[in-house]
Structure 1
Amino acid sequence: MNKDEQLHRLLRERFGYQHFRDGQQETIESLLAGHDTLTVLPTGAGKSLLYQLPAYLLPHGVVIVSPLISLMQDQVDRLRQRGEKRVVMLSSQLQGPARDQVLNSLGSFRFIFASPEILATSAILAALRRIQPSMLVVDEAHCVSQWGPDFRPEYLLLKRARQALGSPRLLMLTATATPRVRRDILNKLGLDRDRVHQVIRSVNRPNIFLAVDRVADQAAKNDRLCQLVTSLPAPGIIYFASRKLASQMADWLAEQTGLAVAPYHAGMAAVDRFKIQQQFMNNRLQLVCATSAFGMGVDKNDIRYVIHYHLPANLESYMQEIGRAGRDGQQSVAVLLYAPGDEGLASQLTTINLPSVDLLTQVQHHQLRPSVLGDDQELFTFYLDHGYQPARIVTAFRKRQRQLAISLQRVVDYTGLATCRRRFLLDYFGEEAADFPPPCCDVDQPQWAGELTMKSAPHLVVCQQGDWHLRLRQLFNQGNNQ
């Protein structure tokens, strides 16, 4: 049996698929040949198979670095449902004798899930080093670039962690990464670009209709949101930049629309988040009002719309989040709501109060307590504790702030386009864009949603509500019949 036959047999017998999707076999063959591999495939393209299948052909376990406990738990549950028992999740919830037992038996596991923070723990790293893992997987690898500098700095330690594990072959997976982000991922992981095999496919999801709804103010935005969720077919997700507002709007929408709505954000108890996720997966909820904490672990094929109430920080995050819609290939909609001044909140959320070199130096020399660094003290003490000099920290964060401002401006540019939104996005990700057949975006179908904000003539809303539903049905029927 040759290699190709072996892979297809394993694909059928272990995973129940008859054919590989685009990019899957190339990635798997690269890994089995021992190459470090960076793979960028669109959401819903089956990225988990890329490390799960090789794991059955490699001599030792596979370590998967994942950004969220919910995402890890989802993968663990799916593997166990498929009959795989040799799977474990290393997290802060694993304590005492149970943790010792797991660490002493790591060699018996085929799949080992861990967060970047857990891999920064010396005891965990030592236990993993003893089993000599065959592969290290960085899932959602764009987090290395987007989160590493100023949110989850432990991502910057993955280079050292890999070296400590004996430099096993490395798989980096993501759905969205511009050429700059791809270079940044490789640089931060200490890789030579010429020695990394890259499997890059288009981020385009042609079944997702792209729209921006520009409204006059916050009150108009709330009206439009209510109209959207009562007109678009469920289920759907609304993304907010604020935990508090996500909860408030969930209550308000439930009261206004009668829909089954719930909030989801990192400030909620883990058991509540798990409950909401399961209710959404089982169609007991029609709508989730969420922060960016929701989505990575939600493999639901029939999400029909994604609405952004606030501006995302960058187009990479936007493509990640709207890509959770329409994984079944059916017509779906992505709507970005924009009111003048929205960029102010987005800028505020990504701004870091950068201390001076002198203040950092005094903290470094224990002349001042870290608390003088304010809310971001843990972030800056992380860099100081890992040998970064104060001047270097300040220079790096100033550069980072400039990058964040440029990224946000590209989102603002997207909201004001008079030309094809899809072409703009693909150009941003370094792809050549052709002409796209309708339904593509609101630029080629400007009447897709009707006009429903006629407060001066409220009696007309009822008439136009019918137009609204008709146009949406036409949009979905047109897209699904192609």
Structure 2
Amino acid sequence: MASSPTLDMPNARETLRATFGFDDFRGRQAEVVERTLAGKSSLAVMPTGAGKSLTYQLPAVMLEGTCVVISPLIALMHDQLRSARANGIRAATLTSADADWRETQDAFRAGELDLLYIAPERASQPAFRDFLSSSKLALFAIDEAHCVSEWGHDFRPDYRMLRPLMDAFPDVARLALTATADGQTRVDVMAQLGIPEEGLVLAGFDRPNIRYAIRPRDNPVRQIAALMAERPGPGIVYAQTRRKVEELAEKLAAATGRKVLPYHAGLPAETRAANQAAFVASEDMVIAATVAFGMGIDKPDVRFVAHVGVPKSVEAYYQETGRAGRDGDPAAAAMFWGAGDFATARARLAEVDEDRRNAERARLDALAGLVETAGCRRAVLLRHFGESPPESCGNCDNCLDRPAVTQVTELARKLLSAVYRTGQSFGLGHIQKVLTGANDERIRQRGHDRLSVFGIVEGEDALLLQPLGRALQARGDLVPTEHGGLALGGSAREILTGAREVEIVVPPKRQRRSRGGGSGEANPVGDPLFDALRELRRELAAEAQVPPYVIFHDSTLREMAASRPSTMAQMGRITGVGGKKLEAYGARFLQEISRH
């Protein structure tokens, strides 16, 4: 579609103010919107929280016809549906969970929808293509577009079937959106979806409001309870097994007195749905979950994401931590890891198809590099996605409290030698005992007290054996055996021959609480007006049966509390107060402000 006077950017900014309550675009939003209004196809790679959904919702309001949004999860569609309708956008979903599908189809055929959300499984059906032919289309928007690529970390085969659907409507522009795609994935996504090379809009990956911290795991309940105390507000705790999820939910609730609920595929569907709904509606609840949770949640006020164990890859870590602080307020991402996490992950490489094994191994090595670095965490993350960041970000654990690094090549040779001389079949605990000369019956029974490596480590070096063993396992120089022992792998032989040196980060003697600047309350809790506005928001959300953030974000309430508007015109100038919300809620909030 060619641009016209009604589809220029000044008109787009007027629509942005009137519909969404924003005075201007953020980041690369304007570029994406301008391309879309001009009928050009694009792949927009934008960080979570940068407003990806606005880049198709605003054109959907301006363009003639319906924007078809392909989204991977029903929960995500319904969440975005609530937000779109709250802004006065004519939107509907067509999913297996919707009872009103006939009304939705009739509304589409009648040209009464701005947005129609569907799943890729439905989009790939020939009958759906025929259905779309019954009305005018404005745009195809493909959310979580990295799912189309086999190189992506969340590959979904049904996304591969979208190209034939879109090719049947050659005059309709395509807008693919993702927050997580490295260079190889971006090229593949564009090829699979038929987006020209010049259509790439790369907005960058930095989430400056998130403070990253990665620590060895010692007592995860205590570690996460400390994080919860620092970060009041909603949080997500990711664990790798269902049993661990339930255990963490129970123990964290007991330790903190906060509401903590579990979420995993083994729970009854109604329990999962109830726990998710409680979390979405809450302003302070924590949910313990497997990694499937969160992809379908567009909750902007999550104040922290914690990982108990390592994620699948740097891409997965970036996406999962990106669920924190989507409203732009300060948030935290904490990972608590152990050597066994990498041992398990490397053992699973044997189960991966051979043609993907090298790529998966490279992903795991990149993750180990992030965990093991003594430098800036954010810089490692951003370099992984092809950016050239500064050497220090000032908002990660290593930048705020620079760790010491020590050269441990000789100690590494002793440890690896002990692994080899004991037959490459014992765990790190046994190896430590051998090296430190422990008086242990099991060691004597096996004759390990007569080995040349028995008792050759003492003093400060003995304290470094555990972090060194953890580091060597993360890097793949020690790999797990079938029966739970350790064997030489990776560059172990180069280390033993002196061809490679080893450095590790010296672990802190105690976990330090983060200092100043990112933990703080972004919200002026204790300000009577702000607290009253939040209470009013809760009441209105309950009346409308939507989560509080659908009414207004905290940042909007903060601006109200600071500027204290006294007229509807002044209220309409508050960021985030669009025309529909002003009409629906403006008078109630003005009344509350006048009482203070």
Q: Which residue of 2 aligns with 1:130?
A: 134
Residue identity opposite 2:68 in structure 1: V
Deviation readout 1:373-420 (Å, 9 max, x if unpaired): xxxxxxxxxxxxxxxxxxxxxxxx432232222112211221111222
C-alpha root-mean-square deviation of aligned residues, in Å? Answer: 3.1
Q: Which of 68, 77, 93 matches 1:72?
A: 77
Alpha-carbon distance between aligned partners in 1 of 2:71 and 2:317, rounded to the nearest angstrom: 20
CA gap 1:59/1:348 in 2 versus in 1, 3 angstroms: farther
1:186-225 correspondence runs (5 A): 186-193=190-197, 196-215=198-217, 220-225=219-224
Alpha-carbon distance between aligned partners in 2 of 1:5 and 1:39, rounded to the nearest angstrom: 21
Q: Which residue of 1 aligns with 2:176?
A: 172
Report the 3-state secondary structure (helix = DSSP H, G, I; strand = E; otherwise coil) of the residue aligned with 1:341.
Answer: helix
Q: Which residue of 2 aligns with 1:474?
A: 516
Alpha-carbon distance between aligned partners in 2 of 1:162 and 1:124, rounded to the nearest angstrom: 12
CA gap 1:304/1:91 in 2 versus in 1, 3 angstroms: same
Q: Comparing 150-159 with 406-415, which one deviates more in the overlay?
A: 150-159
CA gap 1:150/1:328 in 2 versus in 1, 3 angstroms: closer
Question: Alpha-carbon deviation of 1:106?
Answer: 2.5
Q: Which residue of 2 aligns with 1:21?
A: 26
Residue identity opposite 2:390 in structure 1: A
Alpha-carbon distance between aligned partners in 1 of 2:256 and 2:360, rounded to the nearest angstrom: 37
Q: Comparing 120-129 with 28-37, which one deviates more in the overlay?
A: 120-129
Report the 3-state secondary structure (helix = DSSP H, G, I; strand = E; otherwise coil) of the residue aligned with 1:56.
Answer: helix
Report the 3-state secondary structure (helix = DSSP H, G, I; strand = E; otherwise coil) of the residue aligned with 1:472.
Answer: coil
Contact 1:149 1:156 in 2 (8 A): no
1:78-89 correspondence runs (5 A): 78-84=83-89, 86-89=90-93
Q: Which residue of 2 aligns with 1:398?
A: 354
Contact 2:64 2:136 in 1 (8 A): no
Question: Alpha-carbon deviation of 1:201?
Answer: 1.5
Report the 3-state secondary structure (helix = DSSP H, G, I; strand = E; otherwise coil) of the residue aligned with 1:238.
Answer: strand
CA gap 1:351/1:59 in 2 versus in 1, 3 angstroms: farther
Question: Alpha-carbon deviation of 1:269?
Answer: 4.8
Q: Which residue of 2 aligns with 1:325?
A: 324
Report the 3-state secondary structure (helix = DSSP H, G, I; strand = E; otherwise coil) of the residue aligned with 2:518.
Answer: helix
Contact 2:71 2:120 in 1 (8 A): yes
Q: Which residue of 2 aligns with 1:119?
A: 123
Contact 1:439 1:478 in 2 (8 A): no
Question: Alpha-carbon deviation of 1:352?
Answer: 5.0
Alpha-carbon distance between aligned partners in 2 of 1:417 and 1:173, rounded to the nearest angstrom: 30
Q: Which residue of 1 aligns with 2:367?
A: 411
Deviation readout 1:52-71 (Å, 9 max, x if unpaired): 11112222111101011110
Contact 2:376 2:393 in 1 (8 A): no
Question: Alpha-carbon deviation of 1:270?
Answer: 4.9
CA gap 1:344/1:132 in 2 versus in 1, 3 angstroms: farther
Q: Determine what percentage of the aligned residue pairs are the same residue.
A: 35
Residue identity opposite 1:334 in structure 2: A
1:23-42 correspondence runs (5 A): 23-42=28-47
CA gap 1:417/1:183 in 2 versus in 1, 3 angstroms: same
Alpha-carbon distance between aligned partners in 2 of 1:285 and 1:124, rounded to the nearest angstrom: 41
Alpha-carbon distance between aligned partners in 2 of 1:8 and 1:150, rounded to the nearest angstrom: 35
Alpha-carbon distance between aligned partners in 2 of 1:269 and 1:115, rounded to the nearest angstrom: 23
1:36-435 correspondence runs (5 A): 36-84=41-89, 86-94=90-98, 99-100=101-102, 102-107=104-109, 108=111, 109-145=113-149, 152-166=156-170, 168-193=172-197, 196-215=198-217, 220-283=219-282, 285-347=284-346, 397-435=353-391
Alpha-carbon distance between aligned partners in 1 of 2:355 and 2:221, rounded to the nearest angstrom: 36
Alpha-carbon distance between aligned partners in 2 of 1:9 and 1:159, rounded to the nearest angstrom: 34
Question: Alpha-carbon deviation of 1:429?
Answer: 0.7
Residue identity opposite 2:259 in structure 1: A
Residue identity opposite 2:182 in structure 1: T
Question: Which structure 1 residue ranges, 5 or more long, are not aligned?
Answer: 354-396, 448-453, 455-466
Alpha-carbon distance between aligned partners in 2 of 1:150 and 1:281, rounded to the nearest angstrom: 23
Report the 3-state secondary structure (helix = DSSP H, G, I; strand = E; otherwise coil) of the residue aligned with 1:130.
Answer: coil
Question: Alpha-carbon deviation of 1:222?
Answer: 4.6
Report the 3-state secondary structure (helix = DSSP H, G, I; strand = E; otherwise coil) of the residue aligned with 2:356.
Answer: helix
TM-score by length of 1: 0.77
Q: Comparing 431-440 with 196-205, which one deviates more in the overlay?
A: 431-440
**Bigger CA radius of gyration:** 2
Residue identity opposite 1:472 in structure 2: S
Question: Alpha-carbon deviation of 1:114?
Answer: 0.8
Alpha-carbon distance between aligned partners in 2 of 1:236 and 1:421, rounded to the nearest angstrom: 21
Alpha-carbon distance between aligned partners in 1 of 2:515 and 2:156, rounded to the nearest angstrom: 43
CA gap 1:29/1:269 in 2 versus in 1, 3 angstroms: farther
Question: Alpha-carbon deviation of 1:81?
Answer: 2.0
Alpha-carbon distance between aligned partners in 1 of 2:342 and 2:42, rounded to the nearest angstrom: 36
